[in-house]
Every structure is written in structure tokens, then in C-alpha cells.
Amino acid sequence: MKHHHRGFIVKAGPRALEIIRDEGLRPERVKVVAGAAGGPKWLVLYPLDRLMLSGFYARCGAPLHFIGASIGAWRFAALCQKNPAAALDRFRDAYIHQTYEHRPTPAEVTAESRRVMDAYVDEESIAQILDHPDYRLGILAVQCRHLTACEDSGRLGLGLAAAALANLVSRSGLKYFFRRCLFSDGRNAVPLARAAALPFRQFPLNRHNFKDVLLASGSIPLVMSGVQGIDGSAAGVYRDGGMVDYHLDLPYRLDSSSLVLMPHFTGRIIPGWL
């Protein structure tokens, strides 16, 4: 169901809509903030992120879980810092000033993406994120299997085509091509239920692997290189979490009085990129 309010379209399930109609969107009800993948479309959300930082998130019930895939995780890496507004501004400025003299190779896009990341995430800010008193960051990525782990564009393309065909038959078929991975700091259990069809592999998010995990979460196949050697994870090649969790249609585990908030840039939810 949906409800129009001051230029926003609020979409909610029956119970969430009942809560919002009765009392408005009270911050203390929100236990999870979800961040969808979507590349440059995140810039649409920049003003809203800035607005929410002015007080809404600070009043949410602690711990507040930020769960993001791809660019959603990159946004949240700014929002979970000690000075989130400044971090978000640095991220936006670095992001929109990406430049390439010619059609870039995956290695060149990866190098430029690391430059963007370095503009707003340093060792001090990683410590702030991992030690935040109220916020908990969860980052989604995928561990690639078979041809999807290749860097050769031909074999990788075949693997992605096969994954897309499997997805047409059943979303659960993606498990033969990608392992769904969740990286979190471990202070509190991430409020996600067990997903039998596409189970989560959980790994620690720490100061040693933070940047590699964040980069992997946004490493679009064929556009960027995969990320290997992530500290504390299983060996393999990791890529964009949006391959399985594009718009975060996740099995959230919350009580009936709690809400998941997902500021979004489109009117529909697409479960996976493929």
C-alpha cells in the first residue's frame, strides 16, 4: 500500500502502514535502515540523507542497523562516521569528479573507485564506524563461483549470462553462481532471518578488511575487477552485493512494532541485479 505525503511516496506493508497512520514515522520505531544498490542514482538520495542526519537517525532506537549493498553500503560508510555530513559531502564531491580520458579498463575503474573511497574513508573514520555507540554497519557482497570468478571478460560474460538464465527460472538458482555474504562488526546480531533458498555467509567486518569489503560490495562485474584476499573471509573473488541483493528484498527479523526504513530512488523493488 502507499500513501502520498509532501512530495514523497511512502510505501509500506499493512502493519507498518497502520503504525505510520496512527503515530507518524517515529524514529524510535526504526531499527533497520536499508541501502539499495543503484550506482549514480544514489545522488538522488543525497539531499534526503543530509536531511535525515539533522536529527532523525540520531533519535532512532539503538542499536540502529544500516545494511547496504554496493552504493548503499558506500553511503552508509559516510553516515556511520562521527561527522557524517562532512563525510557524505566528501563522498559526493569525489564521486561526481571521477574522470577518465578514454574508455577505462576494469583495473582503471577499480583504481579510481579506491581514490573515491580514500577521499572520505581513512583509518580514523573506520575506527569511528566500527566503534559507533549507536550504529551498526552491515555490508553485502557476493563470493563468486565458477565462471563468475573469472576476470577474463569472455568467460565472465558467459558466467553472468548463465546466472541470468538461472534467475529467470528461479531466484534460488543464483546460489550456483554466487554466495551471498554479509560482513558486520559482530557487536549485535544483524536482524536478518535465515534464508534457506539463498543463505547468508557471515564474516567479520574489521579495520583490516573494511576497505576491501566496501570496494567488493560495489565491484560491478565487467566494469570493475573482483576483490580477493579479504581478511577474515573465505578465499575467493568477491563482487557487487547487488548481484543478489539489488534493492534489498531481505528476510528482516524484527518484532511487529519495529520498522525497516529504505529511502529509495524508484517506485519499485528489484530483488537482484540480474
pLDDT of residue 9: 79
Confidence of residue 5 (pLDDT cuts 50, 70, 90): very low
Do 107 and 222 form a contact (C-beta atoms < 8 A)?
no
pLDDT of residue 194: 87
- Mean pLDDT, all residues of the chain: 92
Reply yes or no on whether the pLDDT at 2 is more than 80: no
pLDDT over 70, % of the chain: 95
Reply yes or no on whether the pLDDT at 123 is more than 50: yes
Q: Which residues pair with 140 in a beta bridge?
A: 69, 182
Do 214 and 114 form a contact (C-beta atoms < 8 A)?
no
Distance (Å, rounded) from C-alpha 203 to C-alpha 185?
A: 9
List pLDDT tens digits, range 226-273.
999 999 999 999 999 999 998 888 999 999 899 999 988 877 776 766
User: How many residues can be counted in the chain?
Assistant: 274
Give the residue-averaged pLDDT of 119-126: 98
Q: Which of 55, 59, 15, 67 is nearest to 258 (CA)?
A: 15
Give the residue-averaged pLDDT of 138-164: 96
List pLDDT tens digits, range 175-203.
999 999 999 998 999 999 988 889 999 99
- DSSP readout, 202-261? EEE--TTTHHHHHHHHT--TTTS--B---TTS-SS-EEEGGGT-SS----B---TT-EEE
The structure's pTM equals 0.93
List pLDDT tens digits, range 26-75.
999 999 999 999 999 999 999 999 999 878 998 997 899 999 999 999 99
Confidence of residue 6 (pLDDT cuts 50, 70, 90): low
